[in-house]
C-alpha cells in the first residue's frame, strides 16, 4: 500500500507513520462506503444475494427500509426471492403472508417487464377467495401509498379504486359499503381520485352489503333513497339482486391481475 501511494506521488500524506496509517485507513473506509453504496443502488440482483446470505426472515424489515431509501424498482425481486426461498418452507403461508407474497410478485413482474407473469397467474389460481380479498387490500394500500412502506414507486389512485371494486366483487361486505360511499361521493377515500358520482351503483352496493349482513349499510340505503327517483332505485335493486344471484351460483369471476 505504501508503494502504491509512493508511485502516485501523493505528497499530502503526513510524515508520522501512525497518522499516515490512520489517514490511509480512513481513505479506504470512506472509499469503500461510497463504492458499496453505488453497488447497492445499481445492482439489485447482487443485493438480493447479499440479503439472502442471512437466511433469516427477521432481516426483511431492514431490506424494506433499504429498498424505500434507494427507490430501485427492480428491488421487488428481493422480497419476491425472500418469500419464495425462506418464508414459505420455514413458516408456511397464512392468508396475510400470501397476500403480501402476491403483491411482491406482482410488482416484481411489473418492474421487470413481465418476467414473472406466468408465475404470477399460477400463484393467483392457487389462492382462496379470502386470500384474494386480503391481496386486494394490500394492493389498495400500495397503489394509494397509504403507508410509508408502500411498494408502488408512484401512487395510482385509479388502480387502487379498481382493486376496491375487485374486493367488493369477491364478497367482502365492509368493502361493499365503503365502495358504495365512494361511488355516491364520486371520489376515492383519500379524495385524490375524483370521478362522476354514480347513485345507481352506490345504491346497488349498499343493498348488496346490507343483504350480506352489514346492518350499517341500511343507513346508506335510506340516504340514497332521498336522492334518487323511484325508477333509479328499482333499477339499482334489480342490479343488486342479479349480482347476489350470480354470486351465490359462483358466477362472479374476479381476476386480480388483468
Which whole-number Å values give the CA distances from 220 to 175, 178, 181, 224, 227, in the listed order? 13, 10, 8, 6, 11
Nearest alpha-carbon partner for 210 in 196, 198, 224, 197: 224
Tens place of pLDDT for every residue, the chain, 258 residues? 455 445 444 555 566 676 767 767 777 777 666 565 555 444 554 455 444 444 444 545 555 555 555 445 555 555 566 555 555 555 556 656 788 788 878 887 887 788 888 988 998 999 999 999 999 998 998 888 766 666 666 788 889 999 999 999 999 999 999 999 999 999 887 677 888 999 999 999 999 999 999 999 999 999 999 999 999 999 999 999 999 999 999 999 999 987
Q: What is the pTM of this model?
A: 0.70
Name all contacts of 126-130 with Cβ < 8 Å and 24+ positions apart. Answer: 127/98, 127/102, 127/256, 128/95, 129/170, 129/171, 130/95
- The grid cell for 192 is 385524490
Amino acid at each position: 500500500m505504501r508503494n502504491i501511494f509512493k508511485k502516485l506521488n501523493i505528497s499530502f500524506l503526513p510524515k508520522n507513520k501512525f497518522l499516515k496509517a490512520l489517514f490511509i485507513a480512513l481513505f479506504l473506509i470512506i472509499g469503500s462506503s461510497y463504492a458499496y453504496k453505488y453497488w447497492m443502488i445499481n445492482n439489485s440482483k447482487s443485493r438480493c444475494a447479499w440479503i439472502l446470505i442471512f437466511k433469516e426472515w427477521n432481516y426483511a424489515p431492514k431490506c424494506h427500509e433499504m429498498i424505500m431509501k434507494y427507490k430501485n424498482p427492480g428491488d421487488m425481486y428481493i422480497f419476491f426471492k425472500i418469500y419464495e426461498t425462506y418464508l414459505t418452507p420455514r413458516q408456511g403461508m397464512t392468508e396475510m403472508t400470501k397476500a403480501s407474497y402476491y403483491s411482491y410478485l406482482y410488482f416484481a413482474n411489473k418492474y421487470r417487464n413481465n418476467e414473472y407473469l406466468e408465475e404470477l397467474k399460477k400463484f393467483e389460481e392457487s389462492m382462496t377467495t379470502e386470500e384474494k380479498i386480503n391481496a386486494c387490500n394490500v394492493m389498495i394500500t400500495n397503489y394509494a401509498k397509504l403507508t410509508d412502506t408502500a411498494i408502488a414507486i408512484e401512487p395510482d389512485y385509479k388502480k387502487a379504486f379498481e382493486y376496491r371494486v375487485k374486493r367488493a366483487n369477491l364478497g367482502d361486505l365492509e368493502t361493499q359499503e365503503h365502495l358504495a360511499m365512494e361511488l355516491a361521493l364520486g371520489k376515492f377515500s383519500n379524495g385524490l381520485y375524483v370521478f362522476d358520482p354514480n347513485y345507481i351503483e352506490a345504491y346497488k352496493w349498499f343493498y348488496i352489503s346490507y343483504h350480506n349482513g352489514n346492518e350499517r349499510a341500511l343507513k346508506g340505503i335510506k340516504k340514497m333513497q332521498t336522492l334518487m327517483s323511484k325508477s333509479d332505485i328499482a333499477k339499482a335493486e334489480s342490479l343488486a339482486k342479479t349480482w347476489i344471484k350470480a354470486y351465490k351460483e359462483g358466477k362472479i369471476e374476479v381476476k386480480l391481475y388483468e
